[in-house]
Structure formats: C-alpha cells, structure tokens
A and B are shown apart, each in its own frame.
Chain A
C-alpha cells in the first residue's frame, strides 16, 4: 500500500487547466520533490493534497484511504509554508503546539511533544519568544517544528527555503535532509530550485504546464532526462543542446563540418538523415590536447569566467553556442580555438520536433 497516491488528478480554474492528469504513488518514507517553474501547477497539486484546494477530478489517497472532501485537519498531514505562516501573537511554544492544542491534546503531553521537536530543531532557547523576535531561519525552524509535533503520515513543504538568504538556505537544506534521514517520514516538497530537488529528493517529479514531464530518481533526472525541457531545467549551467543531422552514421553539428560518431545505443532510433538535438552537460566537457580526437568538439572560446571551484567558458561551434565547466586552472584563454573532449556515454539525443529523448537500445 502506498503512503500517498495521486490518481489522475485534474484541476480547472474556469477554462484554465492547471493540472492535466497527475499520477504519482509514493512509498512510505519517500521524499518526493515537485520541481518546476512558477505556474506549472506544483503548488496547486500540493494544496490539493493538503485539502486547501479541491481537485476537479481524480483521487488522492493517504494510507490507502481517499481523502477527497476530508477537512485538512483530518487528513493526517502537516504543512510548512514559504512564508512560515506562524501565528504572530503566540509564543514559539504555542505555535509549535497549536495543532495539538486545537485537537485537545493534554497540556503535559503537548509540552513533551513541543520539547522533543524543539530539541530536534535546536530551538529550545526560543520557546518563550514571539515570532517577531526571531530571524528568518529561526522562524522556519519553528514552522518545521509545528509540522513535526503532529507526527503526520505525510509532510507537505511549499517552497520552505525560498525566503531565506543563500547561506541559510544551504544550512536548512542540510538540516531538512538530516531530519528526514532521522524520522523517515513521507514528504512532498515543492520547489523551483533544482539544487534543492537534486539534494533532497528520493524521487523528483519535474512538472510543466500541469503535467509531469518526468518522474524519477535524481540520478535518472540528471543523467537520463526524458525530454529537452527536463534536460534544460535540471543542471546549472544548463545542458548544451546542439542541433545536428545524422549522416553516414555520424552526427554532423549543424552550421559546421564537425562530425562526431553516433553512439551505438542510438543506432536504431536515430535514422539516417534525421535532425536531432545532441545534449551534453557542460561538466562532461574537458579541455583536450591540441590533437583532436573523434570524441571532441573544436570550439572558439568567447568568454572565460572563474566561479571559484570551476572555470565556466562560453564558446562557439559554428553558429551554435556551448558552455563548458572546466577545472579552475585549465589553460584556456578568450579568443582561443580549442578542442573540448567528452565520453561517448555523456551524449543524449533528442527529437527536436517532439522534444522527447530518443530511445536507447
């Protein structure tokens, strides 16, 4: 039995289809990240699970029980909001215990649960303060504490880290990961930040225009993107996408005479004469020695940027642009023509008309 099951959920606002049939089944203890840009429907889906919005059709089951029409408080879920949504005039202690208080849990039991959550989140010293006396990171801990004490079957997080500054975001991300490893609860987590998705998720659902573009483990999403959209959305800098044509069993990069061998696994799906998009991650490229091999791209380097841990170069191959992430001490300079080498396994081919990855043999 799945901890959370979403069956063909659709949502219309008037004539606008926000969700166009979502199917997900989560095992207990899974950390699912709904990843997508704003307007893709990820928050709507989360609100439907929480009971803050009603699905137009479809079903949502928690622990095998349909929860459509069930009041949010009876769904056995807890939610953490982007704005923290703390009650401003209640102390941290009462904020965390509010859900238990509203459910009529005895004071002694409530205090014990609050103390336990505060200890886990290292906010014991803040219990008697009001939210206005806390920093952003502390507020977020309180909001998480409020969800923790309820011990729900499913935790829902709505972009919980996006109001924090970069350093704190990193800290809280690790903290969330630690908590999840410790508590092993089922989580549904909404974000538009692909790093958060990659680092936290046991599975990622990349959403776009009300549909799931790809559902898979972070490794699958990163290494085997199912569509051009996923390939472009996950990874920073984005995956390079070169237009090419299949000719004589080779990939000819459009606008140049560069030929690279067609990987064997694509022999059946990439037909002779077909236009394809060749995807290659910037971090899969490396500066090669001057003797160009088959598995390399001759490029003209336009911009070199040192980010600290790596050297990001922007280059041109024919009329197309390319980004590569090289080691910080790579000997490359602006204006140079260099060969960038790669492994054959790093290539991904897509059909430009459908945006889908070509099947591999």
Chain B
C-alpha cells in the first residue's frame, strides 16, 4: 500500500470532523473578526465599518483594565491554591493508611460534579440568611452577625476563588498522585539511607518526577481559570459592583446584555489572543520540564 494512499485515506477519515470544525469553529471565528470591525448591534442592522475603533475603545476603557486585573487575580490565586492543595492532597493520599481507596474516590467528587451544580451548592453555603458558612462561623464566634459573602464587594471574589479551588484541586491532586506513584521505590529508599529529611526528599527525589505532570496541570488550569465564566455567572453574575466581573463575563455583557455585537466581538478576540499567548508560553515550559526526570 503506497504512502500516498495512506495519506489520502487519513484525510478522508478526518474529513467529516474537519467539515464540522470549520462550520462551528472556523466560520464563527472568521465572522467574529469581520464583526469586530463594525458597530453592529446584536439584532437589526448589519452595522457600519468602523475600523479599529472597537479595539481602541475597548483597550482604553477602564472597564477593560479593571476586568483584566480581576481576571488575573482570580486566575493566579485560585490556580496557585489549587496547585498547593492538590499536591498536598496527593502526598497525603499516597501514604498507606486504612480507607485510602475510599478517600481517593471521594476526593474526585467535586471535580466530577458539573460546575453549575457546584456553584449552586456554594451559593447555598454562602447564603446570607441560612447558609452553612454563616452558621458555622457564628457558632464558632468568629463573626457576630450573618454576612452576605457574595453580596459584599470585599468578599465576593475571595468566596468565588474558594469555590473554584474546591471544584478544581482534585484534578491537580489526581495528576500529582499518578506522578507520585511513578517515583521508584528504590530512589525513595536510597534517599532515606542517604539521610534526606522530608523536605529534601520532596525537593530532590519527588519533585523531579512531579514537575512535568504538574506543569501540564498548571497549563490546563491557568487557561481555564483565565476564561472562567460559568461558576461566576451562576454565583454572582459578575457583581457586586462588578467586583467579580472577569473577561468572559465582560464579553457576554457587551455582546448580549448591551447588545453591542461588534464591540463584544473585538473583546472576545482580545481574550482569545491573551489565552493563546499564555498557551504558547506554557507549551514551551512543558517541553522544557518534560525531560527533567527522564
């Protein structure tokens, strides 16, 4: 069988998928680029060509910079916390103890639940009138009165970050746990005989095996966190006073709430570009770390 035929066959097999992808991703993307140079509304007129106006307006608007800061804060803090908690959980679950299998299965639950369910759950926990968090804190005498955790600008973003961590740390833990099981028993034993304490053992023996897989987790989570939408939309809709408004929420508001399709399209493309840059930088980092423990 000739290699030409193999190649042709490969293309033929991929063709149906390619057609679908062009239809649902390629065309909308091209259309969005076109839209972003117009002042089109969501419904009605096709809009007029306005050049780069949408982009310059958006990039110079205080809304955009404020939202970018909020998004970055959300992404950096929740991902950092997820990485630390995930690795600690993995180290714990890698120990030999009774009930380990049950605990491992339970740990995956938050991640296995749909985001909307998770978000609804946390909205109940944070509820200002009958929420579990208020009840617990009051009974522990840590707060005097019930507070609206999601309703106050000072606490809403933090409350969202906690909910996002809860949902996503299991993914990091799962990846780390798999990596931990790849650490050869002999190397751990050698480090014991060599006199490495828990910290040095983690640094010199375990971390080299964790670095590659953790880098993958970091990339996945950062990109997801940067374009976060659903958990925030369900819990706060970007409020209060826009303190939890992230870039994706801003795109939604611009395009659908304010019906400014052209301007929304330009913003969507800016976000896409930012995420792409992140992805490229990270991909390079992953390639660099991947070989570290080989």
Contacts and interface: CB of A to CB of B under 8 A. Distances in A.
Contacts of B294: 88, 132
B243 to A, nearest CB: 43
B204 interface: yes
A63 B234 CA distance: 69
Nearest to B192: A72
A142 to B, nearest CB: 12
A102 B194 contact: yes
A149 to B, nearest CB: 10
A73 B193 contact: yes
Contacts of B209: 88
A16 to B, nearest CB: 17
Say which size band chain B's interface belongs to. 20 to 34
A332 B208 CA distance: 61
B187 interface: yes
B192 A73 contact: yes
A89 B293 contact: yes
Nearest to A102: B195
Contacts of A222: none
A82 interface: yes
Q: Say what secondary structure dominates the interface of chain B.
A: helix
B192 A87 contact: no
Interface in A27-51: 50-51
Contact of A90 (B186, B197, B204): B204
B195 A99 contact: yes
B42 to A, nearest CB: 54
Given A88-B208, A88-B293, A102-B200, A73 B187 contact: no
Interface in A41-89: 50-52, 71-73, 77-79, 81-89
Contacts, number: 68
Contact of B292 (A72, A85, A88, A99): A88
A82 B186 contact: yes
B194 A146 contact: yes
Contacts of B200: 102
Q: Identify whether the interface residues of A are mostly helix, strand, loop, or mixed.
A: loop
A98 interface: yes
Interface string B179-203: 0000010110111111111001000
A132 B194 CA distance: 20
Contact of A85 (B187, B196, B208): B187
B192 A52 contact: yes
B205 interface: yes
B137 to A, nearest CB: 43
Contacts of A85: 184, 186-187, 189-190
Contacts of A132: 294
Contacts of B194: 73, 98-99, 102, 146
Given A88-B294, A90-B204, A132-B294, A73 B195 contact: yes
B193 A50 contact: yes
Nearest to A152: B193
Contact of B190 (A51, A81, A89): A81
Nearest to B187: A85
A87 B205 CA distance: 6
A89 B187 contact: no
A83 B184 contact: yes
A167 interface: no
Given A85-B186, A90-B204, A78 B193 contact: yes
B183 to A, nearest CB: 10
A79 B200 CA distance: 19
Interface in B72-107: none
Nearest to A90: B204
A269 to B, nearest CB: 47
Contacts of B190: 79, 81, 85, 87, 146
A83 B186 contact: yes
A98 B193 contact: no
13 contacts: A50-B193, A51-B192, A72-B192, A72-B193, A72-B195, A81-B190, A82-B186, A84-B186, A85-B186, A85-B190, A89-B208, A89-B292, A98-B194
Which 4 A-B pairs have CB atoms at the shortest separation, nearest pair first? Answer: A73-B195, A85-B186, A85-B190, A99-B194
Given A51-B192, A72-B195, A99-B194, 20 more contacts: A50-B193, A52-B189, A71-B192, A72-B189, A72-B193, A73-B193, A79-B190, A79-B193, A81-B186, A81-B189, A81-B190, A83-B187, A87-B187, A88-B292, A88-B293, A89-B208, A89-B293, A98-B194, A99-B195, A132-B294
